[in-house]
Amino acid sequence: MKLLLAILPFLAGQAVAETIVATRSIRPQQLITSEDVRVDPAVVDGAHVSLVEVIGQEARVAIYAGRAVMMGQVGKPALVERNQMVELIFVRGGLQIAAEGRALARAGSGERIRVMNTDSRTVLFGTVESNGTVVVSK
């Protein structure tokens, strides 16, 4: 038992902690590739720890070379751009209504977004679908 307690601090020091770091400056709205990031053996609280979480995502803000890629700095690539015309779909029970709307922000699949119905000028919230339509809720 004493031997195990003596060895534990050395084993704990061998635990591998990794952080994803930008290899070059990444502009906002740029898709992140494997050449843009690398794994660093440092520990940074709030940073991504896996390349799979970052590669293929879109930078939400500028990420500078040599800095850790923090949570919230990357997200799904945008399917809908601000001011883009989108199809609004409202579904309740067996009723389905389609209308034309304007996106009030950028968003990717599965993200909530504010949209304006172009006929009534009503601002609604909706979720962007994988085909670019927005399913709205009141």
Which domain-ending residue is among 58, 75, 92?
75
Instruction: Identify the domain containing residue 36 by its residue range.
Output: 16-75
Domains: count for the chain: 2
* Tens digits of residue pLDDT in 109-134: 999 999 999 999 999 999 999 999 99
Residue with tokens 């635990």: 15
Q: What is the dihedral of CA 116, 121, 122, 124, to 10 degrees?
A: 0
Residues 51 and 97 placed together within one structural domain of the fold: no
Counting residues of the chain whose pLDDT is more than 90, the rounded percentage is 78
pLDDT tens digits, 4-56? 444 444 445 445 678 999 999 999 999 999 999 999 998 899 999 999 999 99
104 and 130 fall within a common domain: yes
Which CATH number covers residue 131? 2.30.30.760
Same domain, 70 and 85: no
Statement to judge: residues 55 and 101 lie in one domain:
no
Identify which has the larger pLDDT, 3 or 107. 107
Q: Report the alpha-carbon distance of residue 26 to residue 37 in Å, rounded.
A: 9
pLDDT beyond 80 at 85:
yes
Residues 82 and 69 in one domain: no
Question: Which helix (H) or strand (E) element contains residue 88?
Answer: strand 85-92
The confidence band for 93, taking pLDDT boundaries of 50, 70 and 90, is confident
Q: For 100-106, what is the mean pLDDT? A: 95
CATH number at residue 67: 3.90.1210.10
> pTM of this prediction?
0.67
R_g over Cα of the chain: 22
- pLDDT for res 17: 75
Residues 58 and 99 in one domain: no
Domain match, 87 and 60 both:
no
Residue 108 lies in a domain: yes
Say which DSSP state 135 is in. Answer: E
Domain boundary residue, one of 75, 100, 125: 75
Q: Is residue 10 part of a domain?
A: no
Q: What are phi and psi of 25, to 5 degrees?
A: -65, 135
